């Protein structure tokens, strides 16, 4: 018997992947060798009520999309949720959407934009109102469907009196219809606050003044996301999901391990695990007749998230028409419980090499206040999303201590991590990627 056949048999037994062997998701074939001679234009297949807003949103929404033609095509496909921010491209993100939606029925599009505080936190109602009016001007719209706090990094900002006073006035004026909050977790270690994404989002739900939340949910960080979704359902809060695709399997891992002389012992241990994961991930796709052109689990990650009925919409940053074809085909698709468990088993068996974005538990134990969560997120932009330039620019602006503080550390972060993640080598690799200091391009 060949080694490949032996590996496949072991892999199927280990992860119960026989459940996925037919390549079926929610009664549909995921991928097939048989070519369909008739290709109909892709359309959104499912719409969901966005909590107390009452708006029926497409199950897949637009993240930070910067191509007007792509936006137009998405709107024509039935996608009707737009997520943007005054912070994206220094306001140009909003301007691009403004131009792209001309000619479309504004009332059928849900626009959510976000504002950040210059003073951290806001020190006046006037400052907040000014930010909102700047967004209204850039978006060329009379109203914003949902105005969110951008990247809330602690629970204090959730209760900021100037923000809420401004929201109350703007709602009465009809300038905004709903209020929301977005969070990746703590991003400002220098402040001394170490709130996690879960604590921040749950605080906003308990506050009662927020209608929509934006947070990280995927199969790698499913426990955190599902606790949030359970509470949002109880309070009728609209839920929007970012970073639904948390992983990339690395075809280059073996080459990096063999050719890099500057790897530390911990980094070599990490890449050895990554090589094994990559081999099993490849088998995963082969066995299930799936394709992964970008080396990620996207075609399973979006249906995984959509399988939770408490999810409103999953955001995706469409870059081109190729993305439209690939991602819109996932609208309306779900996984069974057994299928979800099969994917989770694969990820959990290599849980030590994947950081759970938004978790932040380890940061509270770091004596050097290294912003672990933020560094891991920037490396995610670099590796999974392919946004190398943006990730490096963000990292260059990041204040506070960097991973060079971790060289002689006893590993307080790793000792506190409930998932046994190899945090120190991951931080070191992220630093090399984000500074192009012997970049490993993982």
Euclidean distance between CA atoms 253 and 277, whole angstroms = 10
- Sequence-separated (6 or more) residues with CB below 8 Å from residue 10: none
Euclidean distance between CA atoms 159 and 182, whole angstroms = 14
How much helix, strand and coil, in percent to the nearest 5, is found in the chain?
A: 50, 10, 40
In the three-class reduction of DSSP (H, G, I as helix; E, B as strand; rest coil), residue 154 is classed as coil
pLDDT above 90 for 428:
yes
State mean pLDDT over 52-65. 97
Dump pLDDT digits (tens) for 161-190.
999 999 999 999 999 999 999 999 987 655
Euclidean distance between CA atoms 200 and 147, whole angstroms = 17
Instruction: For 47-247+297-335, give the CATH class.
Output: alpha beta
- Sequence-separated (6 or more) residues with CB below 8 Å from residue 434: 375, 378, 379, 382, 391, 392, 395, 396
pLDDT above 80 for 3:
no
Dump pLDDT digits (tens) for 28-44.
434 444 444 456 779 99
pLDDT value for 10:
57
Confidence of residue 120 (pLDDT cuts 50, 70, 90): confident
pLDDT value for 154:
92
Euclidean distance between CA atoms 349 and 213, whole angstroms = 31
For the chain, domain boundaries: 3-32+249-293, 47-247+297-335, 351-435
pLDDT above 60 for 230:
yes
The residue among 20, 61, 22, 40 whose CA lies nearest residue 306 is 61
pLDDT above 80 for 440:
no
Q: Report yes or no: 177 and 186 within 8 Å, Cβ to Cβ.
A: no
Confidence of residue 273 (pLDDT cuts 50, 70, 90): very high
Confidence of residue 269 (pLDDT cuts 50, 70, 90): very high
In the three-class reduction of DSSP (H, G, I as helix; E, B as strand; rest coil), residue 224 is classed as helix
pLDDT value for 82:
98
Which tokens belong to 265? Answer: 């012992």
Kind plus residue range of the DSSP H or E element containing 57 = strand 56-58
- In sign, the C-alpha dihedral spanning 201, 204, 205, 210 is negative
- 């892999």: which residue's tokens? 11
Euclidean distance between CA atoms 159 and 154, whole angstroms = 10
- 């839920």: which residue's tokens? 239
Euclidean distance between CA atoms 438 and 431, whole angstroms = 10
Confidence of residue 400 (pLDDT cuts 50, 70, 90): confident
The residue among 79, 127, 37 whose CA lies nearest residue 330 is 79
In the three-class reduction of DSSP (H, G, I as helix; E, B as strand; rest coil), residue 429 is classed as helix
Cis bond before residue 353 (omega within 30° of 0): no
CA distances from 89 to 98, 321, 390 (A): 14, 21, 10
Between 92 and 19, the higher pLDDT residue: 92
Dump pLDDT digits (tens) for 44-53.
999 999 999 9
Euclidean distance between CA atoms 149 and 163, whole angstroms = 9
pLDDT value for 95:
98
**Chain centre distance of CA 280:** 24
Kind plus residue range of the DSSP H or E element containing 271 = helix 265-287
Q: pTM to 2 decimals?
A: 0.91
pLDDT value for 441:
53
What percent of the chain stands above pLDDT 90?
A: 71
**Pick from 179-183, 301-305, 386-390: least confident:** 386-390
What percent of the chain stands above pLDDT 70?
A: 88
Q: How many beta carbons lie within 10 A of that of residue 92, not counting itself?
A: 12
Dump pLDDT digits (tens) for 336-380.
898 898 889 999 999 999 999 999 999 888 999 899 999 999 999
pLDDT value for 8:
52
- 């809330």: which residue's tokens? 152
Spell 184-222 as b/e; 16+ CB within 10 A means b: bbbbbbeeeebbbbbbbbbbbbeeeebbbbbbbbbbbbb
Confidence of residue 15 (pLDDT cuts 50, 70, 90): low
Q: How many beta carbons lie within 10 A of that of residue 255, not counting itself?
A: 12
Euclidean distance between CA atoms 229 and 241, whole angstroms = 10
């Amino acid at each position: 018997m060949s080694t490949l056949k032996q590996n496949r048999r072991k892999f199927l037994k280990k992860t119960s992947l026989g459940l996925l062997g037919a390549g079926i998701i929610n009664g549909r074939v995921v991928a097939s060798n048989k070519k369909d001679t008739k290709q109909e234009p892709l359309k959104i297949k499912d719409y969901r009520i966005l909590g107390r807003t009452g708006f029926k949103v497409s199950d897949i929404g637009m993240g930070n999309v910067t191509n007007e033609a792509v936006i137009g095509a998405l709107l024509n496909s039935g996608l009707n949720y737009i997520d943007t921010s005054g912070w994206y491209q220094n306001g140009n993100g909003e301007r691009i959407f403004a131009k792209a939606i001309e000619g479309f029925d504004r009332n059928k599009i849900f626009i959510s934009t976000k504002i950040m505080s210059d003073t951290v936190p806001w020190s006046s109602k006037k400052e907040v109102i000014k930010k909102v009016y700047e967004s209204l001007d850039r978006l060329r719209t009379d109203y914003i469907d949902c105005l969110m706090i951008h990247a809330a990094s602690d629970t204090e900002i959730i209760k900021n009196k100037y923000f809420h006073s401004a929201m109350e006035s703007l709602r009465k004026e009809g300038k905004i219809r709903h209020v929301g909050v977005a969070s990746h977790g703590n991003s400002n270690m220098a402040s001394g606050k170490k709130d996690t994404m879960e604590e921040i989002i749950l605080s906003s739900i308990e506050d009662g003044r927020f209608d929509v939340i934006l947070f990280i949910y995927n199969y790698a960080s499913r426990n955190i996301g599902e606790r949030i979704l359970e509470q949002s359902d109880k309070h009728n809060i609209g839920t929007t999901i970012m970073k639904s695709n948390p992983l990339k399997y690395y075809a280059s891992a073996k080459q990096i391990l063999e050719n890099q002389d500057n790897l530390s012992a911990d980094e070599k241990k990490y890449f050895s695990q990554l090589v094994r994961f990559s081999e099993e991930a490849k088998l995963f796709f082969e066995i299930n007749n799936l394709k992964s052109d970008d080396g990620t689990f996207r075609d399973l990650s979006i249906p995984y998230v959509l399988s939770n009925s408490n999810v409103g919409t999953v955001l995706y940053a469409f870059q081109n028409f190729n993305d439209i074809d690939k991602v819109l085909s996932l609208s309306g698709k779900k996984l069974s419980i057994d299928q979800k468990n099969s994917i989770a088993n694969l990820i959990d068996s290599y849980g030590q090499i994947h950081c759970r974005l938004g978790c932040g538990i380890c940061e509270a134990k770091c004596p050097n206040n290294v912003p672990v969560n933020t560094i891991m997120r920037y490396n995610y932009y670099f590796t999974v999303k392919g946004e190398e330039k943006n990730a490096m620019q963000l990292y260059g602006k990041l204040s506070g201590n960097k991973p060079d503080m971790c060289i002689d550390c006893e590993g307080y972060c790793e000792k506190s991590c409930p998932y046994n993640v190899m945090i120190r080598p991951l931080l070191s690799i992220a630093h090399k990627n984000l500074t192009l200091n012997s970049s490993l391009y993982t």
